[in-house]
Amino acid sequence: MENHKSLIWPQAIVVAILALCGAFGIGLLLPVNPKMSEAQTKQALDSKDLTAKTGTQQRIEKFKAMMLTSWQEQAKAKGISYNLPSHYQGATIEQAKLSPGQKVIALTFDDGPWPKSTAQILDILKENNIKATFFQIGQNLKNYPDLSKRVVAEGHVLGNHTWHHWYHYLNPQAAAFEIESTTNLIYQTTGVKTNLFRPPGGVMRNGVVDYAKHKNYAIIMWSDDSVDYSRPSVAKLVRTVMKEAKPGGIILMHDGGGNRSHTVEALPEIISNLRKQGYSFVTIPELLELQDKDQALAAAKKQVQNKDQNTTTDKKPTQSPDQNTTTDKKPVQSPDQNTTTDKKQ
C-alpha cells in the first residue's frame, strides 16, 4: 500500500506542473490572440482589474469601518477630557492674564444646541478655521444630539451649562442633577468628559457653582459680554464685542435659547475685525494652557534678569519655562544662588 501511494504522488505533481505551464502559456498567448479585438482584450482586462479593485476597495472600507468603530469605542471608554491643570479645578476664570503681545481671544457660545443657529455658527467657524467653546444645556442636547456630535467632530470644546438653565436657588440634590445629568449626557452623546462649567446667567450663589467647584470643574465666566440675548442691532453687537476685546479675553455669545439671527449675522464681522487687530482664536483649554506658559515664561525672564543683576558670570542664554516651577530643577546653579533666596518681588 505504501509503495503504491508513493508512486501516485510524483505523478500528481507532474500533472499539476504541466497544467500550470499550460495555463501560463495560454495566458501569454491571450493578449496577442489575433481573433480577439483590442476592445475585447481591453474589456477582459478591465473587468479583471475592476474585480480586483472592487475587492481591494471593499477591504479598505471594511478596515476603515473597523478602525472607526474601535476609535469610537476607545473614545467612549477613555472619554475625551480636557487637560486642566489642578490649579484650575474649582477656580473661577473670567479671562486669562496674558502679556500684551499675546493677542489671543476665546469665542464662547451658550444655550445650545439649537436648530439652525448652532449649525450656522459652526459653518462660519469652519469657514474661518476657528475653534470655539460651547456651553450647552442638557435638555437641548437631549433634543438635538446630532448638533452636539457635530460640535465635537469639528474640533470645538464642550462645556456644561446645566440641564434646565434655572436661576433660582437649588438645593444640593437639585444642583447635582443639573450638573451630573448634563455631563453624563454630553459623555454618552459625544464621548467628551467635560470639566468646564458655566453657570446660567452667571449666577454664582444659587447652589450650582458650589456643587461644580466641589466636583472640581473650572468655572468659566467671561470678560466680554456681547449682550446678544437682548437682540441689539448687528452693528451695536459688533461694537459691544470690539469695545471689550483684549488679549486673553473670553467673549460671551449665544448660539441657542432664542432667535440668534443677529449673532449669526454679526459673527463674521466680529471675526474679521478681531483678525485685523491681530487676534487669533483659541478654545478655553488652550487659553488656560497659554496663560500657564506665558506666566512661566515671564517668571523665567524675571529670574534671568535677577540673576544677571546678582551675578555677572552666569551666561546661560535661555531658560525653559518649567524652570519657573518651585521644584528647583535648574540644571546649573551658581553657588551664590543659594544666598539670594527670595527673588520674587
Q: Which residues bind Zn ion (CB under 5 A)?
A: 110-111, 200
Smallest gap from residue 286 Cβ to Zn ion (A): 22
Min CB(205)–Zn ion separation in Å: 16
- Enumerate the active-site residues: 110, 254
Q: Give Cα separations from 164 to 5, 144, 167, 199, 206 (angstroms).
A: 84, 15, 9, 11, 14
Given CA atoms 298, 300, 302, 304 in this order, what sign does their dihedral have?
negative
Distance of CA 15 to the CA centre of its chain: 64
Residues 6+ apart with CB under 8 A from 201: 167
CB closer to Zn ion, 228 vs 289: 228
Round to the nearest angstrom and report the end-to-end CA distance of the chain: 101
Least gap, CB of 111 to Zn ion (angstroms): 4
Compute the distance between CA of residue 108 and CA of residue 105 in angstroms, rounded to an integer.
10
Residue placing its CB nearer to Zn ion in the complex, 110 or 294:
110
Position with the least CB separation from Zn ion: 110
CA distance 290 to 229: 30
**Other CB atoms within 10 A of residue 175 CB:** 22
CB nearer Zn ion, residue 110 or residue 228: 110
DSSP 135-188: EE-HHHHHH-HHHHHHHHHTT-EEEE--SS---S---HHHHHHHHHHHHHHHHH
Tracing cell 490572440 back to the chain, one arrives at 33
The residue among 227 and 298 lying less far from Zn ion, judged by its C-beta, is: 227
- Phi first, then psi: give them for residue 112, nearest 5 degrees: -85, -170
Which residue lies nearer to Zn ion by CB, 138 or 191?
Answer: 138
CB of 200 to Zn ion, least distance (A): 5
Distances (CA, A) of 332 to 304, 311, 329: 13, 14, 9
CB of 242 to Zn ion, least distance (A): 22
Grid coordinates representing 49? 482589474
Task: Quote the least distance from Cβ 70 to Zn ion, whole Å.
Answer: 36
